[in-house]
Structure 1
Amino acid sequence: MADPWFKVHQSSFKEAFGMVMSAVETRSKIDILSHVLLSTENGVLTLRATDLDLQIDTECEAFDAAADIAVALPAERLRALVASLPETGEVSFGQGRFADQVAVSCGATRISMPCLPGADFPTIVTSHADHWFMVDGPELASAIARTEFGLNNKEHRIYLTGFCLRDEEVDGKPILTVIATDGLSFGRVRCRRVEQPHMPAIGPNYRHVIVPRKGAEAIRKLFDASRKDCRLSATDATLTAASGGTTIVTKLVDAVYPIYDAVIPRLDGLVAECATADLVASVKRVGVVADNRDTDAIRFIVERDRIRLELVGTNGGIGADAIPCQSSAETRFIVGMNGHQLIRLLDSVSTDRVRMHLTDGATGVVFIPDGKEDETYVLAPMRWRNAPGMDAEDAAA
């Protein structure tokens, strides 16, 4: 076998490979998009993958690099091979048996797999324009994860299929705000541990970008494990995230995000506070009689010291439960909510207790985790179904 081009430790290569796999397009008709580009320059190995909307580059420590090379290898085959190699192994890459093959070896293993020219690998061209700013990586990653439940999964309102990242000032301090909504569910988390953010002026409303779900998930994955050197740079077409030796470029949703403040009701109505775990468990209990998770609503009856939950399924099943709460209710307050969406919302609440702000039966319910005023979640009301005699039972309760 000819001398290898370079060698890497299996564990470090596997970690880098796992990072770029998020951008591999395995179902594309463009063959090279199902490949990962491996290139060396001045002894540094860089892996790159792209689906033309998302591009991920990450560096991996290499040694014994003989020359600068660039070659694209099939991602799925390479992933299967790397996963099967011992963690302590030393992996070598070099010329394969034929001119259009690459040899991958580790110990007694010798694999010669087809490749494509590195020069043919596509690149998302971007300009950072000196607009880099530092962010707290885990804080932003958490904000993305906590608002994800509100994303719109339908294509007819493309501007709601991504996360809105907005720069603003709150109490005179710069804030990076993450928002997601489908018009019925809404999540907003403010990130305060950030340098002066700089988002482009897209539309007349405010400075922001709309990041597609796939790009946001890749950034979340990168920043979730990064404790320092987490940076963002935005143009009107792309958002670039960098940490350590990894750079992510994602194209943006070409749209203007709506003025979402109108979705958040005023917090001057009834307030009810309860244990988050109690609310989650109660919704799940009465939810067992739901026949259609999209149309069967739970009726919430808020009283001074308890919340009663009732659900009547499409086929007549009835579920009822009650949990303790502390509220400002003088008389009972009734509102209907979708149990499935409420569970998804409550999954974003990390505190033991959650506060509900209720205005009326036709206005969205605001949820604020106890002690987390920078997190705001809203769920639209929903018409519930009554069973015969249920109103009479409520009056007697």
Structure 2
Amino acid sequence: MRILIERSNLLKSLSHVQRVVERRNTIPILSNVLLKTEDGGMRLKATDLDIEITETVPAMSEQPGATTVPAHLLYDIVRKLPDGSEVMLQTDGNGGQMTVTSGRSNFRLQCLPEADFPDITAGTFTHAFKLKTGDLARLIERTQFAISTEETRYYLNGIFFHTLESGGALQLRSVATDGHRLARAETDAPAGSEGMPGIIVPRKAVSEIQKLLGEGAEMVEVELSDSKIRFTIGPVVMTSKLIDGTFPDYQRVIPTGNDKALTLDRQSFAHAVDRVSTISSERGRAVKLAVSASQLVLTVNSPDAGTATEELAVGYDSDELEIGFNAKYLLDITGQLSGESAVFMMADPGSPTLIKDGGDERTLYVLMPMRV
């Protein structure tokens, strides 16, 4: 193969595909990116056997062909070439090496044959729909922080997406939980998503799609089956395996009878939690909330460091209550809220608390208390 391509186009595409390539691989071909000439361009593909990203970029093909070269090495080379330069990619007669030439720079890279490169995209997709990138980004951003990192509970290592009737209309909902906190967000379900299966998109795929959504495209095309999901954003196509497991019945842990409503200023509360938790040990990080009429007192006790307290004016007219939470979890949730105020719906010191966003009625959070 022999192909001429703008450095900026090649770099942008490589930055997308090389992210899924693991730095350490026991299978050599998985360290490589597949380069293949196409009409008016070149297709790049990389995979870790769970996620596959492909992208086609404009290029001048002087001799058709395909090969695979080390993904991170090629990315680093192209990244260090001068802006505005053109890059010539050329394989030798037997395809064992590829020459990368730009100006006076010349590199020879070892190749592996195209035939060895795996393909995970086989199969048919049963559902297809289009979403605004902003809507999908919001569903991910509001819930991603609550994804579990505990590998033994693999079915919690992603975001659960499903559709359901809510308020007389079909909604697309995203949910994540690690057993200590739960995050839920929803948006109007797009045409074509009716009857879609409930799916769990794994953490790495969520992270990659979030990066791609931030690059300015207006719409994202989603195709899915029981085992795979495919996102198409402009020229980039990402296919991922889904987590093969059953997401728990999360509705059962969302409290419905909590009647003690605490309304507070989100930013003031977050800053106060951050300040008092400075004194706590990393292991515990428990902050006690003592609520009485129109007042909240935050307290942290550390056997080694001492005590910290801070008072806040709040809206509250129920019985006095003392309840403890993990400070990091409180900060994670308040960091997701978009409104100026937050509402904590509480029952007692041992029951889960429901947290609502004053600026977004379509999200909610559940947080388990800690003993303090």
> What TM-score does the superposition give when structure 2 sets the normalisation length?
0.95
Show structure 1 runs of 5+ residues with no match.
201-206, 385-397
Which residue, 168, 178, 183 being the options, matches 1:182? 178
Q: Which moved more, 1:220-229 or 1:329-338?
A: 220-229
For residue 147 of structure 1, what is the amino acid of its counterpart?
T
Give the equivalent residue in structure 1 for 2:332.
Answer: 344
Determine what percentage of the aligned residue pairs are the same residue: 28
Q: Is 2:368 the partner of 1:383? A: no
Q: Give the conservation status (yes or no) of the 8 Å contact 1:309–1:322.
A: yes
Q: Which residues of 2 match residues 286-305 of structure 1 at below 5 A? A: 286-293=276-283, 295-305=284-294
Q: Paired residues, what number?
A: 372
- Secondary structure at the residue paired with 2:371? coil
Q: Which residues of 2 match residues 48-127 of structure 1 at below 5 A? A: 48-63=45-60, 65-96=61-92, 99-127=95-123
Give the equivalent residue in structure 1 for 2:307.
Answer: 318
Q: Label 1:79 to 1:199 Cα distance change in 2 as closer, same or farther (>3 A).
A: farther
Q: Which residues of 2 match residues 138-287 of structure 1 at below 5 A? A: 138-192=134-188, 194-198=190-194, 200=196, 207-266=197-256, 268-287=258-277
Structure 1 segments, 4+ long, off by >3 Å, are 96-99
Q: CA deviation at 1:317?
A: 1.8
Q: Give the conservation status (yes or no) of the 8 Å contact 2:159–2:176.
A: yes
For residue 236 of structure 2, what is the amino acid of its counterpart?
T
Q: Is 2:18 the partner of 1:10? A: no
Distance in 1 of aligned mates of 2:57 and 2:257: 50
Q: CA deviation at 1:283?
A: 0.7
Give the equivalent residue in structure 2 for 1:37.
Answer: 34
Superposed CA RMSD: 1.8
Distance in 2 of aligned mates of 1:274 and 1:67: 66
For residue 256 of structure 1, what is the amino acid of its counterpart?
T
Distance in 2 of aligned mates of 1:284 and 1:371: 22
Q: Which moved more, 1:69-78 or 1:341-350?
A: 341-350
- Secondary structure at the residue paired with 2:269? helix
Distance in 1 of aligned mates of 2:222 and 2:37: 25
1:107-139 CA distance string (max 9 Å, x none): 111111111111211110333435211112122
Q: CA deviation at 1:97?
A: 9.2
Q: Which moved more, 1:169-178 or 1:333-342?
A: 169-178
For residue 19 of structure 2, what is the amino acid of its counterpart?
S
Q: CA deviation at 1:193?
A: 6.2
Q: CA deviation at 1:96?
A: 4.7
For residue 132 of structure 1, what is the amino acid of its counterpart?
A
For residue 38 of structure 2, what is the amino acid of its counterpart?
E
Which residue, 15, 19, 23 being the options, matches 1:26? 23
Distance in 2 of aligned mates of 1:247 and 1:253: 19
> What TM-score does the superposition give when structure 1 sets the normalisation length?
0.89
- Secondary structure at the residue paired with 1:88? coil
Distance in 2 of aligned mates of 1:330 and 1:353: 18
For residue 273 of structure 2, what is the amino acid of its counterpart?
V
- Secondary structure at the residue paired with 1:373? strand
Q: Give the conservation status (yes or no) of the 8 Å contact 1:142–1:224.
A: no
For residue 306 of structure 1, what is the amino acid of its counterpart?
Q
Q: Give the conservation status (yes or no) of the 8 Å contact 2:353–2:366.
A: yes
For residue 292 of structure 2, what is the amino acid of its counterpart?
E
Which residue, 104, 128, 135 being the options, matches 2:131? 135
Q: Which moved more, 1:96-105 or 1:213-222?
A: 96-105
Distance in 2 of aligned mates of 1:366 and 1:195: 31
Q: Label 1:198 to 1:15 Cα distance change in 2 as closer, same or farther (>3 A).
A: farther
Show structure 2 runs of 5+ residues with no match.
none
Q: Label 1:199 to 1:9 Cα distance change in 2 as closer, same or farther (>3 A).
A: farther
Q: Label 1:198 to 1:240 Cα distance change in 2 as closer, same or farther (>3 A).
A: farther
Distance in 1 of aligned mates of 2:357 and 2:125: 38
Q: Give the conservation status (yes or no) of the 8 Å contact 2:160–2:198.
A: yes
- Secondary structure at the residue paired with 1:22? helix
Distance in 2 of aligned mates of 1:219 and 1:99: 33
Q: CA deviation at 1:99?
A: 4.4
Q: Give the conservation status (yes or no) of the 8 Å contact 2:339–2:357.
A: yes
Q: Give the conservation status (yes or no) of the 8 Å contact 1:152–1:181.
A: yes
Q: CA deviation at 1:142?
A: 2.4
